[in-house]
Structure 1
Amino acid sequence: MTTFTRLDRSVVGNWWWTVDRWTLLAIGVLILAGGMMVLAASPAIATRLNLDSFHFVRRQFMYLPMAAIIIFLISLLSPLWIRRLAVVCFVLFSILTIATLLVGPEVKGAHRWLWFGSFTLQPSEFLKPSFAVVAAWMFAEQRRSDEIPGNLISMALFVFVVSLLLLQPDVGMALVVSCVWFAQFFLAGLPIIWVVLLLVVGIVSAAAAYSFFPHVASRIDRFLDPAGGGNYQIDRAMEAFQTGGFFGVGPGDGSVKRQLPDAHTDFIFAVVGEEFGVVVCLLVVALFAFIVLRGFSRLLEEKNFFVVLAASGLLIQFGLQAIINMGVNLRLMPTKGMTLPFISYGGSSMFALALLMGMVLALSRRRPGTGELR
């Protein structure tokens, strides 16, 4: 068995002693837990779709090791190469997102996907983390030198990305991107007048989304008036949590996965609640909280402004996605088709999250013996 000493100067040896191994362990536990949850939730969905019972299971277990490799390879990179990777990904997936509007199939009234054989790609999933890093770079450049209009460039890119998402339309993802970008702008030293202005713009945009996107208005109306009907998935999810109690009905013994069409994706947290109980749900919440808080704790001594903004944006995005998914399952938020990171089934989501967490691990590495972030 190979072991690494602190004197090991190889790429992998240096990585082992500089990466945050606690975060790495937590991510590994999430990935393994996700495999177990898909194994519990997806056979019933596959059978209902006249597929082989383990259709989704086999695909997910093919994605998992690939995602782990992506996380490892990206976490080897320096901040400079993370920035370069983000720029390349931003350009590539912007083009592919535009392609979804031109040649992408319409699914439930939206154009968000591209087909590559048997694999369905959602380019906007990869656009989110790459834009967060590019925006951080622009904010950092503005602070480094007033000769570079980083703030204006970041604003222009933000309008471009949000416009693409609204054209699909994907209002929920546009909201996530907006929240992350606003948080990064705030950390970059946003003047108070801009805070007020952007809040006003946000309120006006929310009102416009409610007025011009019927599906958004429908979801908000159903959330505000649950008794009005049309909340089949949310009602079944709440019943699942009630049935599961503290310790669940047991793996494979739940019934919600036979009733919900999205039980293996958007509503997998309800399956967890029914089959494994509140205790396991709280452990999942604790894992997400640990990863986010641990990441921020690693940034407290960081001197590189770009690293702080980029890693903060990625961590906020990761945590916000988990909060939205679990909040929808618990009827704390209007319904939004968003996966639970590393738990829900899906190749695009899994690989995009692997890109995100690989970047976080790379940006939060420490130099041996210095205590500084790498």
Structure 2
Amino acid sequence: MSSFVRKYIKGDQNLWVIIVFLSLVSLLTVYSATGSLAYRTQGGNTTYFMFKQLSFLLIGISLIVLVHHIPYKYFVIFSLPALYFSILMLIVTFFAGRNLNEASRWLEVPGIGLSFQPSEMAKLALIVYVARVLAQHQDEKEPTYGAFWPIMIHTGIVCLLIFPENLSTSLLLGGVVMLMMYLGRVPFKYLFLTGFAGLFVVSLVLILAMNDIVLIDRAETWAARVEAFFDKDAVGNEYGNDYQVTQSKIAIATGGFFGKGPGNSDQRNFLPHPYSDFIFAIIAEEFGLLGAGLVLGAYFFLLGRIGVLVRKCNRTFPAFMVLGLGLMLVIQAFVNMGVAVGIFPVTGQPLPLVSMGGTSILFTCLALGAILSVSRHYQKQDKKTEDDEVLPQDNAR
């Protein structure tokens, strides 16, 4: 086993520890959160969804191992074709997407019956493309003017295609791209005006939906979530105006410091989607503040290791790619956990590598594989430098 790890598991070992830790948390929590559902829908087989999650995690980790052995220079070559393919898939989904959980954001693969979310593919492809464009236009003597329009045109297309069915993903992706451009020295006035225009459009759609003028089918749902978030005292049912968040808070509050123990959640029977959107609430209920803190700490640690890796990069493309992918994963995690504790309105964002869901896990693992590819490259470079420093000393002896 140790020889296998030394031969095939490269890159930052701390990142691998985070991956293994979050995967174990995912298995334990998904098993607990889906036990009742599996019993009702799978003929009493309470382990059905756990083993399904395990299969996705194993495939995902295999993808990480495979991708992190690919030199990162190939990501530059395939970034634009991958982005255009993702846009094509988003267009197909827009017109012929499968409706699931009241949103047509799924595309079914013909012949095998599997469904996936093209938006997850588009997030990954767009971030790698943005890293490529920012790297191409870096100039120490002046701001990065030339990168703005190529990035905004492609980002606008992707976000507009995602927007009608998945507002939170569109905003999250747009925000990460804006952060990348800011750190890539794109003039702030460009970013400010673009951000203002985007927020104006979203606000207009929501305000019109609140006044029964619906421009987008999902706008009523978004408006209801925003109203529920800001109008805490409104009474929509016996639990208040936002049933999901109320149940989530009950789960977190009753978990205490050490939690009720694995498999002992009560709120999994009342909380909608306890295995995906609100899985952090089940973690807090069963593993307590201690367990929830460890999960939160894992994402902070991931962010820290991303920062260390970015500082190691002596080329701009891998630095921007690692930064963009890392920010996407960590911000998405913070949004998911923030929704569970009531800091943000309900968004439907999964907890990366923890929530149940094949598409999310597989594309999260592809992102982690790309990050580890860069880490492996610089680990190999550091080792070569050390060997070069040792050899002259040995020859002197």
TM norm. shorter chain > 0.5: yes
Larger radius of gyration: 2
1:346 aligns with 2:357: yes
Matches within 5 A, 1:16-95: 16=9, 19-49=11-41, 52-95=45-88
* Contact 1:265–1:344 (Cα < 8 Å) also in 2: yes
1:266 aligns with 2:262: no
Q: Secondary structure at the match of 1:159?
A: helix
Pair 1:351–1:85, CA change in 2 (3 A): farther
Once the two structures are TM-superposed, the CA of residue 16 in structure 1 deviates from its matched residue by 4.9
Distance, in Å, in 1 between the alignment partners of 2:169 and 2:205 is 13
Matches within 5 A, 1:1-374: 3=3, 13=7, 16=9, 19-49=11-41, 52-116=45-109, 117-143=112-138, 149-167=146-164, 169-211=165-207, 212=215, 213-228=219-234, 229=236, 230-365=241-376, 366=378, 367-369=381-383
Once the two structures are TM-superposed, the CA of residue 158 in structure 1 deviates from its matched residue by 0.6
Distance, in Å, in 2 between the alignment partners of 1:4 and 1:121 is 32
Distance, in Å, in 1 between the alignment partners of 2:113 and 2:50 is 15
Q: TM-score, normalised by structure 2?
A: 0.85
Q: Secondary structure at the match of 2:157?
A: helix
Once the two structures are TM-superposed, the CA of residue 326 in structure 1 deviates from its matched residue by 0.3
Distance, in Å, in 2 between the alignment partners of 1:209 and 1:23 is 40
* Contact 1:238–1:270 (Cα < 8 Å) also in 2: yes
Q: Deviations over 1:71-117 (max 9, x none)?
A: 11111111211223443432333222221122222234421002234
* Contact 2:259–2:286 (Cα < 8 Å) also in 1: yes
Aligned residues: 363
Once the two structures are TM-superposed, the CA of residue 157 in structure 1 deviates from its matched residue by 0.3
Pair 1:203–1:95, CA change in 2 (3 A): closer
Pair 1:371–1:135, CA change in 2 (3 A): farther
Distance, in Å, in 2 between the alignment partners of 1:121 and 1:320 is 22
Moved more, 207-216 or 235-244: 207-216
Aligned residue number for residue 8 of structure 1: none
* Contact 2:9–2:65 (Cα < 8 Å) also in 1: no
Question: Aligned partner of 1:23: which letter?
Answer: L
Pair 1:34–1:4, CA change in 2 (3 A): closer
Pair 1:76–1:218, CA change in 2 (3 A): same
Pair 1:144–1:74, CA change in 2 (3 A): farther
Once the two structures are TM-superposed, the CA of residue 305 in structure 1 deviates from its matched residue by 1.0
Structure 1 residue runs of 5 or longer lacking an equivalent are 6-11
Structure 2 residue runs of 5 or longer lacking an equivalent are 208-214, 387-397
Once the two structures are TM-superposed, the CA of residue 148 in structure 1 deviates from its matched residue by 11
Pair 1:163–1:28, CA change in 2 (3 A): same
* Contact 1:141–1:148 (Cα < 8 Å) also in 2: no
Once the two structures are TM-superposed, the CA of residue 149 in structure 1 deviates from its matched residue by 4.7
Question: Aligned partner of 2:172: which letter?
Answer: V
Distance, in Å, in 2 between the alignment partners of 1:319 and 1:232 is 26
Q: TM-score, normalised by structure 1?
A: 0.90
Q: Secondary structure at the match of 1:247?
A: coil
Distance, in Å, in 2 between the alignment partners of 1:271 and 1:16 is 31
Distance, in Å, in 2 between the alignment partners of 1:371 and 1:45 is 55
Once the two structures are TM-superposed, the CA of residue 48 in structure 1 deviates from its matched residue by 4.2
Moved more, 273-282 or 301-310: 301-310
Q: Deviations over 1:304-341 (max 9, x none)?
A: 11111111111110011100100000011000111111
RMSD after superposition: 2.4
Distance, in Å, in 1 between the alignment partners of 2:41 and 2:186 is 50
Once the two structures are TM-superposed, the CA of residue 21 in structure 1 deviates from its matched residue by 1.1
* Contact 2:145–2:186 (Cα < 8 Å) also in 1: no
